[in-house]
Amino acid sequence: MSFRERINSWDIIGKTKTWLAVSGVIIGIGVTAMIVNTFSFGAPLKFGIDFIGGTIINASFERAPDETAVRDILAQNGYPSVTVQKYGEKGITMKIEAKEIDPTVSGKIITEIEAKYGKVDTATQDITSIAPVIGRDLLRRSSVALSLSLLFVLLYISIRFRFSIGVATIAGLLHDILVTLGFLALLRIPLNAAFVGAFLAIISYSVQDSVVVMDRLREKLRYRSKESFAVLANAAVRETWMRSFNASFTTFLAVFVLAVMGGVAIRDFSFTLLAGIVSGTYSSIYIVTPLLVIWTQKREAALAVKKAQ
């Protein structure tokens, strides 16, 4: 029996409790990590300087600095929590989680980099402090952006399909956000402005998968005879399972290469996307459709009771 033939025999909807339990355990681990982080570090997530404030040093040298070497120099000077990125041909950007840096220390850092990569171009040297108030405003705007995206998804799905499908899809998206946040909390990955883009990408990717399944389910409902909603939903999931897996797996491979080969600058961002892709694929198949079946079964049962009265 081929793998495709085995898929046709799967009872995915019949194991709804198992899928929900798996998600509950994963989300529970993430929530526990957030609670532990709150008591240990004062916040559920590790926010980067974009949110909590810090110092950014930009400078260009005679030769292009190596990011790892610059990171080592910063660590030796008491700043291990840094983000180092190249800009231009010979420039380097250093994001340091410190509201203020002693001019003597910053001068020593630049001097040590000069010793390796030549004189600094003073015209490009710049030290900027990011106030926490800017970070709070960025956090507020990011929360608004994510909330609006969820609202627009609900409106779109409700108009294209129906409201119950929109609610189930939003539940799946909230699942993906919680799983990804739990992943960030568990590994203490710094959360910066770029991660807002990662969450929006995860939401759009998860919605795309869910829409494919719901489109197939709508086709089946159009020609429904005596089959129950659960049977049709299970058939729709089985028929789109391979498509969802293939699309997700190819995307996973591309992002995995970025995570492994892209360097430290985008490693955390890429691993966050990986977690979101896996969670989004799982939720569109094993969370959204089973929740929709539960909702529909309860509604049909309520209508049957109402008619019987």
Angle, alpha carbons 199-258-172 (nearest 5°): 25
pLDDT tens track, the chain, 309 positions: 566 667 778 888 889 999 999 999 999 999 999 999 998 888 888 887 777 777 888 888 888 888 888 888 888 888 887 888 887 788 888 888 777 777 888 888 888 888 888 888 877 778 777 776 666 777 788 788 888 888 888 888 888 888 888 888 888 889 999 999 999 999 888 887 778 888 888 888 888 888 888 888 888 888 777 778 888 889 888 888 888 888 888 988 988 988 888 776 678 888 889 999 999 889 988 999 999 888 888 877 666 666 666
Ordered domains of the chain (ranges, CATH): 3-42+133-308 (1.20.1640.10), 54-130 (3.30.70.3400)
pTM of structure: 0.82
Cβ–Cβ < 8 Å for 57, 197: no
- Give residues with Cβ within 8 angstroms of 159, minimum separation 6: none
Per-residue model confidence (pLDDT) at position 35: 94
113: left (phi > 0), else alpha (psi -120 to 50), else beta?
alpha
Per-residue model confidence (pLDDT) at position 133: 62
Per-residue model confidence (pLDDT) at position 308: 64
Per-residue model confidence (pLDDT) at position 230: 86
